Amino acid sequence: MSDPAQFDVVGLGLNATDTLILVPHFPAYAGKAAFTEEILSPGGQVASAMVTCARLGLRTKYIGTLGDDERGRIQMESLLASGINLDHVQVRQNCPNQTAYIIIDRTTGERTVLWQRDNGLRLRPEEITPGQITCARLLHIDGHDTPAVEHAARIAREAGIPVTVDVDTIYHGFDRVLPYVDYLIASSEFPVQWTNQTDPFKALETIQQEYSLRVAAMTLGAYGALALENGKFIYSPAFVVNCVDTTGAGDVFHGAFCYAVLQGMPMREALDFSNALAALNCMAIGARGGIRGLEEARALMARADRRSQPEFEARTRL
């Protein structure tokens, strides 16, 4: 494009308003436990990634749908406070916002998520115009409203705009999205499920070759992230922090990765930086409770207190 982009990044995809339920420890199956606290907190894959981008100083736009209930209002207030452009966020009448009930084990910070999204929140391809996408330098999507994200990703590809995607489960028709993706950053389960390859290294190779991805990568939770770029695997161990809640860690990772791509960071640095911001978010309650800035991420990266997966460490040294 000859004109400078109005935004650095535009995100199209899910938001949710979470009910966080904090328990001293997760109960056994069919068990019973008292909880210590209940908190309403904004979250959601793409929305939280965009809040991360805004926190890092990027000119950020979010495209999505909200319900007109209390949860939708909480989400809208959070997005407005972050300074994100919301010109193309739609508030759907007589429709509840996406909801998640998240049980957080206080002993480990790990969480279990129960979620629901009303069909009235579905975003349709015809609601997305080229100008909504080509106004930015990068497009970030998830996989939920598959026809809509396919349409947006195609617009971006035709305009020469890189596309990053956050996907954690198999969506019907997602094979039509992947040809327009440059950076696939999936959950650890997705590549294996998609390819039926039990070896995660082979799974990433298969996806990258089939769809000509610039980068095929997976997040590994407490063990960091693994990426394949230019025929080489790069492993970034996780940073060790005092984890109180893992909610939103992956979303913050994706927002940080968008920033890293736009800054032209080498892949190892991009993964380290994204891991650092994700780890910092785990030190507070809520999907966006611990989103930090550049200085805090750099300080954590300098500490070099990491947790690695030995097999991944060994195989990427070869």
Give the Å distances, CA to CA, from 66 to 8, 72, 78, 267. 23, 5, 12, 34
What is the rounded average pLDDT of the residues 160-181?
Answer: 97
What pLDDT was estimated at residue 3?
55
Please count the other Cβ atoms lying within 10 Å of the Cβ belonging to residue 291: 25
CB 183 within 8 A of CB 213: yes
Averaged pLDDT of the chain: 96
Q: Is 70 exceeded by the pLDDT of residue 2?
A: no
Count Cβ neighbours within 10 Å for each residue of 148-159 and write b for 16 or more, e otherwise.
bbbbbbbbbbee
Q: What is the mean pLDDT of residues 220-232?
A: 96
**What is the distance of C-alpha 207 from the center of its chain?**
19
Report, as an integer, the average pLDDT of 127-144.
98
Which domains can be identified in the chain, with CATH numbers? 7-14+45-95+124-317 (3.40.1190.20)
Distance CA 145, CA 133 (A): 16
Q: Per residue in 13-69, pLDDT tens?
A: 999 999 999 999 999 999 999 999 999 999 999 999 999 999 999 999 999 999 999
Q: Report the distance separating Cα 80 and Cα 98, nearest Å.
A: 18
**CA-CA distance, 151 to 129, in Å (whole number)?**
9
- What pLDDT digit, counting tens, does each position of 188-211 carry? 999 999 999 999 999 999 999 999
- What is 198-262 written as a DSSP string? SSHHHHHHHHHHHHT-SEEEEE-GGG-EEEEETTEEEEEPEEP---S--TTHHHHHHHHHHHHHH
Q: What is the pTM of this model?
A: 0.95
* Spatial distance between the Cα atoms of 197 and 203, rounded to a whole number of angstroms: 5
Q: pLDDT band for position 304 (50/70/90)?
A: confident
Spatial neighbors of 29 by CB under 8 A, at least 6 apart, are: none
